[in-house]
Chains A and B, each alone.
Chain A
Amino acid sequence: MAGAGGGANDVQWCFSQVKGAIDDDVAEADIISTVEFNHSGELLATGDKGGRVVIFQQDIENKSQPQCRSEYNVYSTFQSHEPEFDYLKSLEIEEKINKIRWLPQKNAAQFLLSTNDKTIKLWKISERDKRPEGYNLKEEDGRYRDANTITTLRVPVFRPMDLMVEASPRRIFANAHTYHINSISVNSDDMTYLSADDLRINLWHLEITDRSFNVVDIKPANMEELTEVITAAEFHPHQCNTFVYSSSKGTIRLCDMRASALCDKHSKLFEEPEDPSNRSFFSEIISSISDVKFSHSGRYMMTRDYLSVKIWDLNMENRPVETYQVHEYLRSKLCSLYENDCIFDKFECCWNGNDSVVMTGSYNNFFRMLDRTQHRDVTLEASRECSKPRQVLKPRRVCAGGKRKKDEISVDSLDFNKKILHTAWHPQENVIAVATTNNLYIFQEKVN
């Protein structure tokens, strides 16, 4: 199978699988809130509003044959977070999983960090495929034998059993965030990670739960002077001293932990100057960055704001090197999008394995693939109507006004309740996971 090379238009995407209930009546708990492949792509984790994590595993039996398609099947599922109550403020703490991040695998077990608004948990997922049998003091069902009946001794042996996957919480990192956690990011040093809320970023050691080091604090002394909040943060993929955080005003700050203990002063500030003639009531809201992701190479970073995706070269702070419009036709709908709160939707974005294509979601269950090398883009749809096995996805087109061509959909017909906020791309293959409100779609590259 080709690697993650090839542009968006070389690759034809086919439906592979869909997970989740078909019925339209979506329970709040089933709303998917995060999707993440692990470092090998073998595992795919989802988190939902009900605080549950479901992990799928790629069936690798036939992977050596390029013609075969691999499937993702349920590997483990567990309740990561439960609803809590802040008694002091009479506020409920949602159990919704905001982010999942995998740790690189070091032994047979898998580890992931999952977080809700206030608490981060380190989960160990391990397999058990044999069990000891032949105890001297216990029956097979666990009951203790009467000591008087024991006349001989035997050595217990391990016998194979049906595979059991167990998830256990190994660390709970709590009470370090006054505001709502929006990001977690594992450092390349394999020892630390950061967690970011609206106003602060903390550095943790994976082994230590009772202490956390504050590295960024943008809370003003007088809260009335608050003008921007932190929206996302991520560690550099290779430089363990470097991380970035984005803001609600459309800026990204790069911080170097070698420069000082408290990184309130950035090392670099990435900001595109705004054309003052374009300023409107909506300007700041739509410039708010909802996601920031480093490229795998570490040379670039991508930001997602309401209408566009921007690629930044870390060596150039004054403007992005590439800008892609995700759904420019929404610019004439900003009033109603403000009224129905859609303007505040937080879309994520992701890179493919070799950083040649980026992907992000939109409304009407559309998602966009933006090819950086071929300068082409395509809009695809995740829907049950295009869910026959190996069915090739047809490009979709939105008509912003004027005469609607056949096969186009008009802006006014878009369903703004069907939003694709979370997508993920397999680190090595052309396999993508796209989350609609309560369903997870898996698409693969068409293999001839």
Chain B
Amino acid sequence: MSSENQESEAPLESGEEKQQDSQEKDANPVKSEEAKLKSKYPNLGQKPGGSDFLMKRLQKGQKYFDSGDYNMAKAKMKSKQLPVAGPEKGLVTGDHIPTPQDLPQRKSSLVTSKLAG
């Protein structure tokens, strides 16, 4: 079996290449997208795939109100600044508290899947 690297479509046969034919190819649509994003969100982190982004992924899950957490956070707020991803950020306690507006709606009761209907 040959080991050549193949692409099944010609690189960038799409129209945007024609529109930017004075410049280079591949990276360009992506670079202009990146510029668009940076102009919209100038404070976007320097490490997009880094800690903050991954932390968010690890903490996925609906957080509910916890009075213990709330009071602890209130106490912390006095001494610290707005908390960012700290050392033990695997634990989602203390600083990330939903407001009543963030609380989810009550889930509907369990019924049989419509695929089986």
Q: Is the CB of B12 within 8 A of A223?
A: no
Neighbour of B37 across the interface among A52, A199, A222, A335, CB < 8 A: A335
Q: Is the CB of B14 within 8 A of A94?
A: no
Interface residue tally of chain B, by bracket?
A: 35 or more
Q: Does A284 contact B (CB under 8 A)?
A: yes
Q: Is the CB of B29 within 8 A of A30?
A: no
Interface residue tally of chain A, by bracket?
A: 35 or more
Residues of A within 8 A of B8 (CB): 324-325, 370, 375-377
Q: Is the CB of B115 within 8 A of A27?
A: no
Q: Does A178 contact B (CB under 8 A)?
A: yes
Residues of A within 8 A of B14 (CB): 328-329, 332, 399-402
A32 to B114, CA, bound (A): 11
A224 to B87, CA, bound (A): 6
A334 to B115, CA, bound (A): 34
**Given A284-B49, A285-B49; A92-B44 close (CB under 8 Å):** no
Q: Is the CB of A52 within 8 A of B113?
A: yes
A338 to B37, CA, bound (A): 9
Q: Is the CB of A92 within 8 A of B62?
A: yes
Nearest chain A residue, comparing its CB with the CB of B49: A284
Neighbour of B51 across the interface among A19, A224, A323, CB < 8 A: A224
Residues of B within 8 A of A322 (CB): 5-6
The A/B interface has a contact count, at CB < 8 Å, of: 201
Nearest chain B residue, comparing its CB with the CB of A375: B8
Q: Is the CB of B27 within 8 A of A335?
A: no
**A264-305 interface with B by 8 A CB criterion:** 277-278, 280-285, 288
Q: Is the CB of A20 within 8 A of B114?
A: yes
Q: Is the CB of A401 within 8 A of B19?
A: yes
Cβ of A169 to closest chain B Cβ, rounded Å: 16
**Given A21-B117, A30-B114; A226-B33 close (CB under 8 Å):** no
Neighbour of B61 across the interface among A91, A222, A329, A440, CB < 8 A: A91
Q: Is the CB of A325 within 8 A of B55?
A: no
Nearest chain B residue, comparing its CB with the CB of A410: B15
**A174-229 interface with B by 8 A CB criterion:** 178-180, 198-199, 222-229
**B84-117 interface with A by 8 A CB criterion:** 85, 87-93, 107-108, 110-117
Proximity string of chain A (327-344) to chain B, C-beta cutoff 8 Å, 1 when within and 0 when not: 011011111001100000
A329 to B110, CA, bound (A): 40
Nearest chain B residue, comparing its CB with the CB of A88: B93
A79 to B110, CA, bound (A): 9
Q: Is the CB of A321 within 8 A of B5?
A: yes
Q: Does A77 contact B (CB under 8 A)?
A: yes
Q: Is the CB of B9 within 8 A of A377?
A: yes
8 closest Cβ pairs, A-B complex: A401-B15, A400-B14, A402-B15, A284-B49, A332-B29, A90-B66, A335-B33, A92-B62
Given A29-B113, A224-B51, A280-B30, 13 additional A-B pairs, CB 8 A: A50-B110, A89-B93, A90-B92, A91-B61, A92-B61, A94-B61, A248-B54, A249-B49, A282-B33, A323-B6, A376-B8, A402-B15, A438-B114
Q: List 17 contacting pairs A-B, 8 Å CB cutoff, sorted by A.
A: A20-B114, A20-B115, A50-B110, A54-B115, A92-B64, A178-B90, A179-B58, A198-B58, A280-B31, A282-B48, A328-B12, A332-B14, A332-B29, A370-B8, A399-B15, A402-B19, A438-B114
Residues of chain B having any CB pair with chain A under 8 Å? 1-9, 12, 14-16, 18-19, 26-27, 29-34, 36-38, 40, 44, 48-51, 53-55, 57-58, 60-66, 69, 85, 87-93, 107-108, 110-117
Residues of chain A having any CB pair with chain B under 8 Å? 19-21, 27, 29-30, 32, 46, 48, 50-52, 54, 74, 77, 79, 82-83, 85-86, 88-94, 117, 178-180, 198-199, 222-229, 248-249, 277-278, 280-285, 288, 313, 316, 319-325, 328-329, 331-335, 338-339, 370, 375-377, 399-403, 438, 440
